[in-house]
Amino acid sequence: MATCRADFFRRYLQAPEGRPKLGVGASPGAPGGPAAVDRGAMFGSRWRKPPRRLHCAAATWSSDGGEEFSSQEEATQKPEFPNVESLSLENAMESLPPEILLRILSYLDIFSLTCIAQVNKLFHRLANDDGIWFRIYQSEFRRPTWRLEEDEEEEDDEGRSAAHWKKVYFRMVAAHVYKWRKELNAVSPYTGLPSQTEHALRSHRLSWELRLRDACGRESRHRRNRAVFSETSLIVGWSDGGLPAQRSIRSLQLHAIRNPGHPILGWSSLLLDLDVGAAPSHFLGESRLVTLRDLPHGVVVGTWRGNDGVAFILISLHFHRLVERSLLGSPTCPYSEPPASPLADPSDLQLGLHGHTLHFVLHNTDACIMSQYFHQLSCRPAWIRDGLVRLTAVSRTNVSQHRSLSGGVRMPWRKGELSGSVKNCCFMTLTLTDQFQQPFWCESAAMCITPDGGGGGGFLMTHSSAHGTVRVELEWLKEQRPFFLVGLVVSVSVHKVNRHFGTEY
């Protein structure tokens, strides 16, 4: 090969004077430039263009067949390579071999893979790699092999798309979603809620994670794997030693974690995002050791008396759409219920609301204090006042509707070896359905007993939110000890009624 090159250069130098020369600064198409020189023909098929990063010096041919550099510094100049320190992180990642990038991406979870696929075309192709999604599929469904469907058996490996196993994985996930949707088809006639909600939550092995953030942006996470279920709600509590002081908490988030501890398949669904600094706080009660305060959305914070340390945090969640919110939400955005079309007939405007049912429960973390079902609740248009639609479930004048509360009204708590209870505090869970047995207003929150200011010697339990108010009237008989429920009125905001039924009250 070297002899052939030497003969080629010798014949080129002995050519006539009219041959084209490679002069300094000559360019193709210019006078004296190598306009018709084909480098592929000169050097054969092995000719390769120099890399773009290499700056080759212009050269002239000398009489002895060697090269003579036209610049003094180009004779000793080396190819310039970019400085590694000057590269950005994105360019440094893209410069890695695909095998290393795939190894890095294999440690990410599904949500992170979905996010990194939006960076550029390179990461979109790597994040959809079949090898990564095949391992995800095997880890989720624990199947060593996959039997193709009839419409896929004719396709070979070359005909498949790059994201084949990704499609297979989400198709199987959709099948599992349909499975638990079938489990929720059975509806309780008393509450209008799926009767298998607790079974669906337990079968998916959900874990509940509390995320607290302070003013400096530092976040602490607290995992809870057990919850206390009641008829229509569950209570999740945290009492570990890592809870920060109450005054340092700025935001509170509650996440439902599916497959906790799994490095790839762990999925987080946002259930609650509360701005603690701007949220209203109400005093519930106190005992010899702790003080309870009520926050919106069923959050109860217990602090030690005498300091600002948090002893425990309790959150009550209603069963309405809880399975969908725990499985179909994302780490940054909660599941939103699809809007329902108006259900009312315009002829019902003169009749008002009728045929409503109410399932009302008073409970705590240990037992149920009261559970009652009220049906055929109604409200005429003349009874609508102050923007509220009043539905009376228990009337003070009707003695046959009065109910006794089983046991005492209290809020038990436990912190390590310490335990106790706060009297006259409990959780309330109401489920109001319309005349079509569809859930209309579902809420779970903490309530406390306070003396009635009317001078009659009675007691009250009240709760208010953006959807309406709840008023519970109680009487206490010294001879029999327990409280008696003598009045229960649920008032729904007119705005909520008009949006649900399409009315114009």
Give the pLDDT of the chain (505 residues) as one tens digit per residue.
Answer: 455 555 554 555 555 544 444 444 444 444 444 444 444 444 444 444 444 443 444 444 444 444 444 444 444 444 454 454 544 555 677 778 888 888 888 888 787 888 888 888 888 888 888 888 888 887 776 655 444 444 444 444 444 556 788 888 877 776 666 677 788 888 998 888 999 999 988 888 888 999 999 988 899 999 876 789 999 999 999 988 788 888 899 999 999 988 776 655 567 899 999 999 899 999 999 999 999 999 999 999 999 998 889 999 999 999 999 999 998 888 888 888 777 666 555 445 555 678 889 999 999 988 899 999 999 898 888 788 888 999 999 999 998 889 888 878 999 998 888 889 999 999 999 999 988 888 889 999 999 999 987 766 789 999 999 999 999 999 987 666 678 899 999 999 998 888 888 777 7
Q: Where in the chain is the domain with CATH 1.20.1280.50?
A: 88-153+160-183
Q: CATH classification of 346-501 is 1.10.3470, yes or no?
A: no
Phi, psi of 198 (to 5 degrees): -65, -40
pLDDT of residue 11: 56
With a CB cutoff of 8 Å and minimum separation 6, the contacts of 130 are 160, 162, 163, 164, 165, 166
Q: Which of 129, 176, 127, 171 is nearest to 151 (CA)?
A: 171
Q: Where in the chain is the domain with CATH 2.60.40?
A: 346-501
- Asked whether 376 and 355 are in contact (CB, 8 A), the reply is yes
Predicted TM-score (pTM) of the model is 0.69
What kind of fold does domain 88-153+160-183 have according to CATH?
Monooxygenase (1.20.1280)
pLDDT of residue 171: 79
Sheet-wide strand order for 290-295:
228-229, 233-238, 310-318, 299-304, 290-295, 282-286
- Asked whether 361 and 240 are in contact (CB, 8 A), the reply is no
pLDDT of residue 331: 86
Q: DSSP label at 77?
A: P
